A and B are shown apart, each in its own frame.
Chain A
Amino acid sequence: MSDATHVAADSAASAAGDRRWVGFRTIVIREFSRIVRIWGQTLVPPAITATLYFLIFGSLIGRRIGDMGGFTYTQYIAPGLIMMSVITNSYGNVVSSFFGAKFGRHIEELLVSPLPNWLIVLGYVAGGVLRGLLVGLVVTLIALFFTRLHVEHPLVVVSAVLLASLVFALGGFINAVFAKNFDQISFIPTFILTPLTYLGGVFYSIRMLPDWAQTASHANPILYMVNAFRHGFLGVSDVNVWLAFGIMLAAVVALFALSVWLMEKGTGTRE
């Protein structure tokens, strides 16, 4: 290849790189604007729900339950409640935003644009992570009204919340790709995500359960996320934290690859 050809190729690659970066930022800004524009649907409900949980389970019932794993019950459930809100909001943001774009057909704006499919996935997922983290922050601030939050391993807290948010944002994306109507975007959150979250050790340690239920709980991916996050705050966990991070990382890679493959194939988006 001649020098001139090299320069032309480098310049084209640089132009494509700039275009992708601006495109990615645009998707993220659009998603963030959507989160802020409909704050009554995105930020307020999880704040109210978290306040009620802390009030009822933490302050009222928690006092009678006593300590758990050496911590007050409110301290014990706080990381789980934060993680629960991160999971549901990361998932909910992407599933509703991407399905809404399909339903309103404005997803076509992105499909005809020169942005590659992996970047479109990444943009929507970043929006989901952003909302998950925002809501997680709001719930953390609410938790501070009810209890003192000690952070044992800050890096574990940040990694766990980011990975869990990524996993469920990607899950929401895949749900939206396949969804053909609004019922199908609420089916998984209602019938799968909520039960798994409640049974994932948010409100209790699985060591309190009979052996068979402990074994069954290990099949629940949310158990690993909640416990990795709790380990970051309190230093206690029902599962091996390295295994938890391994599962989350593997899930992120697998779900991202599946999302991009579905987009390349045009499932749910192209005829």
Chain B
Amino acid sequence: MKALSLRKLSKTYKTGVQALKGIDLDVDQGDFFALLGPNGAGKTTAIGIVSSLVTKTSGTVSVFGHDIDTDLEEAKACLGLVPQEINFNQFEKVSTILVNQAGFYGIPRRLAKERVERWLVKLQLWDKRDAVSRTLSGGMKRRLMIARALVHEPRLLILDEPTAGVDIEVRRSMWEFLRQINEEGTTIILTTHYLEEAESLCRNIAIIDEGRIIEHDRMSTVLRKLHSEVFVLNPRHPVASLPELPGYSFTMADDGSLEVEVTKLQNLNDIFAALSARGIEIVSMRNKANRLEELFLRLVEGRDAATGAAKPAASA
């Protein structure tokens, strides 16, 4: 049984915008799944339909075998949602928000209070349990939304841009936390603008663009489709002229670093050997772009080239 299964899912808004054009998507139980796409690609619409915040135009949605058309209550009982925008009552206390949320899922107050303590402790919010939620910092509000989505212990957790606007330290601790609950058995679907986040956390990925799934595979398989990568090499001493190496093309950046594109058929050993032979010592090296970001841009650019459409710089 799949954790989530979408078939021919379509959504056309009243404005006439066709946000989803009949997408098929399967997410396995226990998976950590990334759903990526540019702004307006249809990610939030798809999540909205699954969580009943958006009404679908056609198609089917099934959550752990529960069809949302025939078995909506059970489908929703399996779901936990962390939306993009803050959507808790800003006048209520942190613990009240969680106890109420547990109640909406049928968890009696006594048990709810125990669970609230457990999740607030895990998300480092226990000290803030009696604080009015609007007084929390941005990172705390994000963590509160995660705690709220988990208080009824859902089998499928959907996070829509969960780390948007939080600092790197909080983001890393949230990653660790998400990894942990995934290992404990919760299936996770994640949309994010931070492609490093998707690459680091997720095992499977779907890329959605203009309402269609343009890629759906294992993360490692998808990344293998990247035919070349650009590396930035930092020499110890400034390089007078660009090195020449058959099959490789070097460019020099303003800061004196060298950039070279390496295809899957080439290797870095040849480059280092050639540079050493010319007395150029490399002290550090990095990828010019995140690999997933590069792949993503190529996929979208490829689509634009095929359709002849001009599109501003895409973001995931």
List residues of chain A with CB within 8 A of the CB of B40. none
A183 at the interface (CB under 8 A from B): no
Question: Chain A: which residue is nearest B11 at the CB level?
Answer: A271
What sequence of 0s and 1s flags, for each residue 91-113 of chain A, a beta carbon within 8 Å of any chain B beta carbon? 00000000001001110111111
Q: Which of B13, B52, B88, B100 contacts A112 (CB 8 A)?
A: B52
What sequence of 0s and 1s flags, for each residue 97-138 of chain B, a beta carbon within 8 Å of any chain A beta carbon? 000110111111000000000000000000000000000000
Q: How many angstroms from the CA of A165 to the CA of B91 in the assembled complex? A: 27
Give A228-268 interface residues, CB cut-off 8 Å to B: 266
A25 at the interface (CB under 8 A from B): yes
List residues of chain B with CB within 8 A of the CB of A29. 100, 103
Size band of the B side of the interface?
20 to 34
Question: Chain B: which residue is nearest A115 at the CB level?
Answer: B104
List residues of chain B with CB within 8 A of the CB of A18. 106
Q: How many angstroms from the CA of A22 to the CA of B152 in the assembled complex? A: 13
B256 at the interface (CB under 8 A from A): no
B53 at the interface (CB under 8 A from A): yes
List residues of chain B with CB within 8 A of the CB of A12. 74
Q: Which of A22, A27, A271 contacts B48 (CB 8 A)?
A: A271
A201 at the interface (CB under 8 A from B): no
Q: How many angstroms from the CA of A30 to the CA of B91 in the assembled complex? A: 12
Give B73-101 interface residues, CB cut-off 8 Å to A: 73-74, 76-77, 79, 81, 83, 85-91, 96, 100-101
A106 touches B73 (CB 8 A): no
B51 at the interface (CB under 8 A from A): yes
Q: Which of B89, B100, B106, B108 contacts A104 (CB 8 A)?
A: B89
A109 touches B88 (CB 8 A): yes
B228 at the interface (CB under 8 A from A): no
Q: Which of A26, A104, A105, A270 contacts B104 (CB 8 A)?
A: A26
Q: Which of A15, A105, A113, A270 contacts B76 (CB 8 A)?
A: A113
Q: Which of B13, B74, B87 contacts A106 (CB 8 A)?
A: B87
Q: Which of A16, A30, A266 contacts B73 (CB 8 A)?
A: A16
A19 touches B106 (CB 8 A): yes
B100 touches A30 (CB 8 A): yes
List residues of chain A with CB within 8 A of the CB of B103. 22-23, 25-27, 29
B54 at the interface (CB under 8 A from A): yes
List residues of chain B with CB within 8 A of the CB of A27. 103-104
B55 at the interface (CB under 8 A from A): yes
A113 touches B105 (CB 8 A): yes
A23 touches B104 (CB 8 A): yes
Q: Which of B55, B74, B105, B108 contacts A271 (CB 8 A)?
A: B55
27 interchain pairs, CB-CB under 8 A: A16-B74, A19-B105, A21-B106, A22-B108, A23-B103, A26-B103, A29-B100, A29-B103, A101-B89, A104-B89, A105-B85, A105-B87, A106-B89, A108-B53, A108-B83, A109-B87, A109-B104, A111-B53, A112-B51, A114-B72, A114-B73, A114-B74, A114-B105, A115-B104, A266-B55, A271-B48, A271-B54
| A interface residues with partner B (beta carbon < 8 Å) | 12, 15-16, 18-23, 25-27, 29-30, 33, 37, 101, 104-106, 108-116, 266, 270-271
- Give the top 8 A-B pairs by smallest Cβ distance, nearest first: A19-B106, A26-B103, A113-B104, A105-B87, A114-B76, A114-B77, A114-B73, A106-B89
Given contacts A113-B76, A271-B48, 12 further A-B contacts (CB under 8 A): A16-B73, A19-B77, A22-B103, A25-B103, A111-B52, A112-B52, A112-B81, A113-B105, A114-B104, A114-B106, A116-B73, A270-B52
